[in-house]
Structure 1
Amino acid sequence: MSKFDEKVAQYSKFMDDKGLSYDADLLKAVTKGLGPSIYKRDAETVSGSDAKELITVKKNFLIKKLGLEDGPQLDVAIDKVIEAIGKSERSKYRAVVYYLLAVEFGKEAIYS
């Protein structure tokens, strides 16, 4: 199994453990879109309590990647995803957060 496949399996297990339903192919595509950052511990995760980190998620992923307009709905969606994963969960994997946000806004086609 390649390192990439190990990461996808890790994220799949994480979602299973959290009771989050997911499409394995979409999760794999989102993970692939993150490139080498998935292999760096700090870059692989999102801090749900760090405002600067959440602004980065909003600007770099929701606005640039998904093409969404800035507004309060983006912050609401980020909060919803953080809540779904669990605020106390230390390892909020970026691939999982991005996957859930893409689904939340119906932007799965970007990864087709």
Structure 2
Amino acid sequence: MSKYLENVKKYVDSPNETAVEALVAHLGLALQSHDASIVAATDADELARIKTGYCSKTLDLTAEEADAAIAKTCQKMTGDKAKCRVTFYYLLAEASDSMGRLAA
């Protein structure tokens, strides 16, 4: 868990540790594979899956809210070639004011 928390700290000064723990638990098996633990932000199909899966089902965002949060997160992580899925999802929750859905 600490490596994911450290990665989130690259973008957030004081991240919600409970939310990071919840994301690590939620992603579970996906974090076992290096490829699955990374978000390919230039892959439209992957972003569509994140939008209809995580954004819609977990964060309860509308399509427009999801698009805005994804765009903001991609912009924030522009310099990071290997975008950690935990960090990406954390920043999506933050960008959409949905952190309470993770840390509840």
Q: Which TM-score applies when normalising by structure 1? A: 0.80
Alpha-carbon RMSD across the aligned residues, in angstroms, is 1.6
State whether residues 93 and 99 of structure 2, in contact with CA within 8 Å, keep that contact through their aligned partners in structure 1: yes
Matched, 1:106 2:97: yes
State whether residues 72 and 95 of structure 2, in contact with CA within 8 Å, keep that contact through their aligned partners in structure 1: no
Give the match for residue 34 of structure 2: 41
Which has the greater radius of gyration? 1
CA–CA separation in structure 2 for the residues paired with 1:28 and 1:69 = 25
Which ranges in structure 2 are unaligned for 5 or more consecutive residues?
none
Aligned residues: 102
CA–CA separation in structure 2 for the residues paired with 1:28 and 1:84 = 22
**Stretches of 4+ moved more than 4 A in 1?**
none
Alignment of 1:1-112 (within 5 A): 8-16=1-9, 18-21=10-13, 22-71=15-64, 73-85=65-77, 87-111=78-102, 112=104
Which ranges in structure 1 are unaligned for 5 or more consecutive residues?
1-7
CA–CA separation in structure 2 for the residues paired with 1:93 and 1:82 = 12
- Please state whether the residue corresponding to 1:41 is helix, strand or coil: coil
Letter in 1 for 2:5: S
State whether residues 5 and 17 of structure 2, in contact with CA within 8 Å, keep that contact through their aligned partners in structure 1: yes
What's the offset of the Cα at 1:109?
A: 2.8
CA–CA separation in structure 2 for the residues paired with 1:64 and 1:49 = 22
- Please state whether the residue corresponding to 2:39 is helix, strand or coil: coil
